[in-house]
Structure 1
Amino acid sequence: MRALTWQGKEHVRVEDVPDPRIQEPTDAVVRVTSTAICGSDLHLYGVLGMFLDAGDVLGHEAMGVVEEVGSDVGHLAVGDRVVVPFGIACGRCWMCERGLQSQCETTQVRDQGKGAALFGYTRLYGQVPGGQAQYLRVPQAQYGPVVVPDDGTPDERWLYLSDVLPTAWQAVEYAHVPDGGSVVVLGLGPVGQMAARVALHRGASTVVGVDPVPARRLMAQRHGVITFDPGERGVRTAVGDLTDGRGPDSVIDAVGMEAHGSPLAETTQKLVGLLPDVLAAPLTEKGGADRLAALLAACALVRRGGTVSLSGVYGGAKDPLPLMQIFDKQLTIRTGQANVRRWTDDLLPLAADLADPLGVLDLRTHRLPLEDAPEAYRAFQRKEDGCIKVVLDPWADAAS
């Protein structure tokens, strides 16, 4: 089959790899019809290469049609149309029963001291081949895949149930935005876009998005979000004016470890990335620092007694946090990988609603053949051509 593989820093390639097969009775094999590029994939593309091996198949947002099932996969049948959550969970362990599927005790990567295994996401999370491919082996398929209607609706109505929608929903849930309250979303990439829309859907009266990219701000404005460019002077004052001078009830950081405006951390990341993996991996895992501009802005913006919700990925072990400010302002901070299946029942009706209340059909800006994935990664990283969300078609011919 054809699959997108990591080859080195900012170097990915589509090549032939072996077809996946059933390895455990709880496995399924899915023929992938759509797979997306996530902002988290860019961390692998540019920063976390020391935890990857050449030839690793990337991607953790996928959906398709079931081709084969193991003997212990009860609820799936060949031919079912399914969305595959990015985290791999069993659904029956102590953690899963408490809605913490991202900490699944069956798939925890204990030798790395990490939570549940993830598709296409480094040795730290199990080195499970990802979904930017024509076929995907799905472990724990007795629980993970979500069956969706095979009714001719476009994949984009359902695809974001794999990651973007549950991550955004959890970000808002963790933000504890009061009914009629206010929230600022830092970063208007795919998760930030959906978090802003979810917050409005769930009753926030004031939703502000902050992002330097004009195309992202315009998309958010279409859905009722007030937007600011962080490079403009007076953003904090303007947000204060919208919130009775107190600041917002909640701030969602949808940016994470590669925030603009952190030059020292950015330089450090680049220098570490030049080291051999045997040196770079332990240095990053034990002593790495993130670009913290978004997190610091979140703590500064939120009102006293408010909540900061982190949905952007952080990986630094030695990040300096503004603990005096956090303590003085009496802030609550919630974070963590999305517990995808915990939120499925809330999100399926919204995705199915033909009125499209969350605007799932207004997120994808580019649909390209899988063969064009290397160019798509570059455009997404550089924010070129209005690129906000890329969906790849594994079975389409490469663009001429």
Structure 2
Amino acid sequence: MKALVWHGTADIRCDSVPDPRIEDPRDAIIKVTSCAICGSDLHLYDHFMPGMESGDIMGHETMGEVVDVGAGAKSALKVGDRVVIPFTIICGECDQCRRGNFSVCERSNRNKALGDKAFGHTTAGLFGYTHLTGGYAGGQAEYLRVPFADATHIKVPKGIPDEKLLFLSDIFPTGWQAAVQCDIQPDDTVAIWGCGPVGQMAIRSAVLLGAKRVIAIDRLPERLSMARAGGAETLNFAEDNIVERLNDMTDGKGPEKCIDAVGLEAHATGSIDSMYDRAKQAMMMETDRPHVLREMIYVCRPAGVLSVPGVYGGLVDKVPFGAMMNKGLTLRTGQTHVNRWTDDLLKRIEEGQIDPSFVITHKVGLDQGPEMYKTFRDKQDGCIKVFISP
């Protein structure tokens, strides 16, 4: 089969690789009908995340049709079922899964020792996302093996296009969880840093959850325009001092809720802390650039909430934790507990409350994937979200 394969920093190729096969009774094989490039894939493309090996298959936003089912998964799946595959691999049986904390499943990371060493305790296995999270083949391919398939799937109805359903795999529930974690109240102002795909979903989720006001922050005109179409006011961080402008817009009090939809590769224009982060990265003394995290801590209203769906991979420096503690801020983070949200979100799609396909700007075949990684990373051609049809 064909697949998008990692060979090193900024080196993704469309290669021929062996077809997946059933390896465990709880496995299933799906024929991929659509997949996508995620912003967090760019952390792998640029090699900011450790644990990648040459030959790893990329991708964690996938859907398709079941073509083979292991004996242990036949009670839940059958050949011909149409499914979206969450990026988190879940056993459905451990203590964390029973609590709905699916992204920290205790059993699905087959490289548990690496996870324990990196994070203190293992987190869930993830598709196409480093050997720290299991080294599983990703779904930017013609076929995908799904471990724990009886739990790791979302059945979806026929008749709804892939474009509307695919993002149940990651960015829609990720944006939704980011907003839910804010505990939004009717009089809240929610500030969202980053108007990429997750930020766009967080904007619309905050609106659906009843925020009085949503303010979105980015610098790219096409992203800011999409944010305004979703109901947000916008700020351009290349032109505005974000802390000053947010304080001005909230009568000096700051927003009650803040969402970091950027993560470890934060950009800033001319800021001292951004230059500091890049210098420390060059000397291998810091892995992540937490400019947005610092900014949120300073500007958030006392007793407010910080929600961080943006991916961080390692060590950050000069985080003003004293301000966070003294202001009584609540910090909520984490990879997304996808299956916790999908019944509700699928219903919202079916009822027409939201059509997640709005975020797609580019549709390509698998063979165009390598060039689209560069286009997406470099923010060329107005690229916000790449939809791939294998």
Query: TM-score with structure 2 length normalisation?
Result: 0.93
Amino acid corresponding to residue 372 of structure 1 in structure 2: Q
The Cα shift of 1:49 comes to 6.1
2:140 is equivalent to residue 155 of structure 1: no
Partner of 1:88: 89
The Cα shift of 1:238 comes to 3.1
Amino acid corresponding to residue 178 of structure 1 in structure 2: Q
CA contact (8 A) 2:48 2:287 kept: no
Distance 1:6 1:62 in 2: 17
Amino acid corresponding to residue 33 of structure 1 in structure 2: T
Of the three residues 347, 359, 365, the one matched with 1:363 is: 359
SS in 1 for 2:358: coil
Of the three residues 86, 110, 113, the one matched with 1:111 is: 113
Of the three residues 368, 379, 382, the one matched with 1:383 is: 379
SS in 1 for 2:55: coil
TM alignment of 1:47-62, pairs within 5 A: 47-48=47-48, 50-62=50-62
Partner of 2:339: 341
CA contact (8 A) 2:164 2:355 kept: no
- Which string of whole-angstrom CA distances, capped at 9 and with x for unpartnered residues, describes residues 106-164 of structure 1? 1144211130110000111110000000000000111111010111x221110000000
Amino acid corresponding to residue 301 of structure 2 in structure 1: R
SS in 1 for 2:289: coil
The Cα shift of 1:242 comes to 3.1
Amino acid corresponding to residue 28 of structure 1 in structure 2: A
Distance 1:289 1:55 in 2: 24
2:135 is equivalent to residue 137 of structure 1: no
CA contact (8 A) 2:277 2:286 kept: no
2:186 is equivalent to residue 186 of structure 1: no
Partner of 2:278: 266
SS in 1 for 2:198: helix
Query: TM-score with structure 1 length normalisation?
Result: 0.91
Partner of 2:271: none
Amino acid corresponding to residue 51 of structure 1 in structure 2: G
TM alignment of 1:29-44, pairs within 5 A: 29-44=29-44
**Number of equivalences:** 377
Distance 1:110 1:6 in 2: 22
Pick which of 68-77 and 80-89 moved more.
68-77
Distance 2:240 2:189 in 1: 21
Distance 1:233 1:312 in 2: 22
The Cα shift of 1:91 comes to 1.1
Identity of aligned residues (%): 45
TM alignment of 1:222-241, pairs within 5 A: 222-241=229-248
CA contact (8 A) 2:49 2:313 kept: no
2:302 is equivalent to residue 294 of structure 1: no
Amino acid corresponding to residue 70 of structure 1 in structure 2: G
Distance change (3 Å), C-alpha of 1:368 and 1:247: same
Partner of 2:203: 196
CA contact (8 A) 1:118 1:126 kept: yes
Partner of 1:279: none
SS in 2 for 1:295: helix
Distance 2:188 2:207 in 1: 10
Distance 1:172 1:125 in 2: 25
Gaps of at least 5 residues in structure 2 are: 117-121, 269-273
Distance 1:49 1:110 in 2: 17
Amino acid corresponding to residue 148 of structure 2 in structure 1: Q
Gaps of at least 5 residues in structure 1 are: 273-286, 395-400
SS in 2 for 1:392: strand
Distance 1:270 1:126 in 2: 28
Of the three residues 360, 363, 370, the one matched with 1:374 is: 370
Partner of 1:280: none
SS in 2 for 1:177: coil
Amino acid corresponding to residue 388 of structure 1 in structure 2: I
CA contact (8 A) 1:8 1:49 kept: no
Partner of 2:214: 207
CA contact (8 A) 2:30 2:65 kept: yes
Amino acid corresponding to residue 209 of structure 2 in structure 1: R
Amino acid corresponding to residue 58 of structure 1 in structure 2: M
Of the three residues 211, 219, 225, the one matched with 1:218 is: 225
CA contact (8 A) 2:192 2:259 kept: yes
